[in-house]
Structure formats: structure tokens, C-alpha cells
Amino acid sequence: MYRIFAHSKHKVKFKQILLSVTQTQVLPTSWVKNFTEITKLRLSVSVVFSSVAGYLLGAAEVDFMILLLLCIGGYCMVGASNVYNQIMERDLDSLMDRTKNRPIPAGRMSIAAALSIAVILTIVGISVLYSINPQTAMFGAISIFIYVFLYTPLKTKTPLSVFVGAFPGAIPFMLGWVAATNDFGIEPGTLFMIQFFWQFPHFWAIGWFLFDDYKKGGFFMLPTGKRDRTTAVQVVFYSVCTVLSSLIPAFGVTGAFYITPISAVIIGGLGIWFVYYGLRLYKQKTDKSAKQLMLVSVSYITLLQIIYVADKFIR
């Protein structure tokens, strides 16, 4: 009888130890998961990728320390914007299927904890970018301000929010050039213009296939507020604008930023592919064609940046 009791005590103790070990392993993992979700890891990394591409285009010589600082500062700034956004939209996020499981509406993170993360990321981000040069920090701060205080509140009020949001969305590409040169001129201006035009077909495609879900939260992201012909026409128009602006560096009118005819031909081919999917949306007006356009738009901007950088270092 004593042996059975002793054996049971050991089993209970072992279970307690096992539970304790499991909890210490799960806690950090859950915090990491919440952090990556609330800062939107994939989106933030794609934005940092744009900044790195801009830096490589502008740098006479690549300084890997500056590149590292740009990545850290860029992630912090984008991450902070995303956290502020989710704090402000927490009630609306709980209404939409795609956002209801985010850390705040799901109850996995308190508002106080999220705000602490946002403030820390802002301070670290601005400080790190300032250590590169003041202009880089200034544009980073402007990006956060527009995204949080203008774009976010406008999303439930007017479709023009996409136009406002296109400004912070276009800053990262040019930010890299400014980080490399400590100068804002026609070159980073061109990079800004390309990514500015690109925002419209990209976000309207998302607004199209997530229309019903956005409607639950009171967001009307499409230019007409509807999935109609006029919206599709504007998608095609801005797709064409994106492609044409992407080809401007081939004509030698953008200062130190230029591309060779071979790269221009490749980009032209990519552009035809991009516009084709815009025209498919115009013709079909379906969620499927909108989702395809969104995926093609992401591929287009990524491949475009890779081609620009490869052109510079291969020629």
C-alpha cells in the first residue's frame, strides 16, 4: 500500500515538472508568435526588402553595417505602424474573419502590452535610422505618422484612404536610396513614384476579393465603394502607370538611376503580364481574378526590384 502511494506521489511530481517545463517552452513561443503577428512579419519583411533594394541601387559601395541598421530600423518602423493600426482597429478587427484571431481581438495580448511594443519599436526604429542619417529617420517618422494618424482613421470614412496610404507604402523603396546617399533627388523620387502607382492595383485587388469581409468592419477600400466596371478600369489604368513609370529609368532621364535596354525589355515583358491580369479582372470581375492580380502584383514589384539591382551590378 505504501509503495503504491509513493509511486503515485512520484507520478504526480513528474507530471508537475513536465507541465512546468512545457509552460516555460510554450510561453516564449507564444510571445514570439504574438509579436510576429502583431508586427505582421511577412509584410514587414517585404517592406524591408524594398528598402534594401533601394539601398543597393543608391550605394556607391555597399556598407553592410548600414544595410543591417536599415533592416533593423525599417522593420521597427513598419512593425510599429502595424501595432498602432491594430490597437486603433481592435474592435473592427474582431468583426472580420481575416483579423479576428489577431493577438488583441483574440485576447492573447493586452492593449497596454501592444502599446509598449509600438512605442519601443518607434523609438528604436527612429534612433537606428537616425544613426544612418537624419533624412532617413525623417522619412521613416513621416511614414509612421501618415499610416497611423491619416490612413488608419480614413479607412472607415472614404475610399480615398488608399490614396493616402499609398504615400507611406511608397516610402520604403526610396528610403533605401536616401540611406545610401543622404540625399533626396530625382532618383529616389522615381523609386517613390513606381511604388506609389503600384499600391493602387495591389490594394484594390485585395479590396475586391475581401470586399464582404471588409464590409463587416466598415471598410470600403475600392475607389467607387463597389466591385464594378469603374473600379476595374482604374485598376487597369494604375497597372499601366506602374509599368510605364518602371520603364522611365531606361531613357536616361533619372540621374544616376538608369537601366540597360535588356533590362527594359525584361521589365516590359513583366509589365505585359501584370497588365494582362488587370484586364482579366476588368473582363471577369470575379474574386478569383482579383486574387490572381494581387499575387501577380506582388511578384511584379519583387522581380522588378531584383532586376533593377541585378542590372546595376552586372552591367
pLDDT at 315: 76
pLDDT at 13: 43
Of 276, 274, 294, the residue nearest 208 (C-alpha): 294
Instruction: Please state the pTM of the whole predicted model.
Output: 0.88
Task: For residue 212, give the C-alpha cell.
Answer: 464582404
pLDDT at 31: 86
pLDDT at 174: 96
Q: Are 281 and 309 in contact (CB under 8 A)?
A: no
Handedness of CA 291, 236, 280, 298 (dihedral sign): negative
160 to 153, 163, 204, 216: CA distances (angstroms): 11, 5, 12, 19
Question: For cell 513606381, what's the residue?
Answer: 194
Q: Cβ neighbours of residue 115 under 8 Å, at least 6 residues apart?
A: 83, 87
Q: Are 242 and 250 in contact (CB under 8 A)?
A: no
Question: For cell 521589365, what's the residue?
Answer: 267
Q: Which residue spans within the chain are E strands per DSSP?
A: none
Q: Count the helices and strands in the chain (H runs, E runs).
A: 13, 0
Q: Are 297 and 280 in contact (CB under 8 A)?
A: no
Q: Cβ neighbours of residue 121 under 8 Å, at least 6 residues apart?
A: 39, 76, 77, 79, 80, 83
Consecutive sets of 10 residues in the chain, 315 residues long: mean pLDDT of each?
A: 39 39 48 92 94 96 95 97 96 93 94 96 97 96 96 93 95 96 95 98 97 92 94 98 98 95 97 98 97 98 98 90
Torsion of CA 252, 257, 261, 267, to 10 degrees: -120
pLDDT at 130: 97
pLDDT at 29: 60
pLDDT at 4: 37
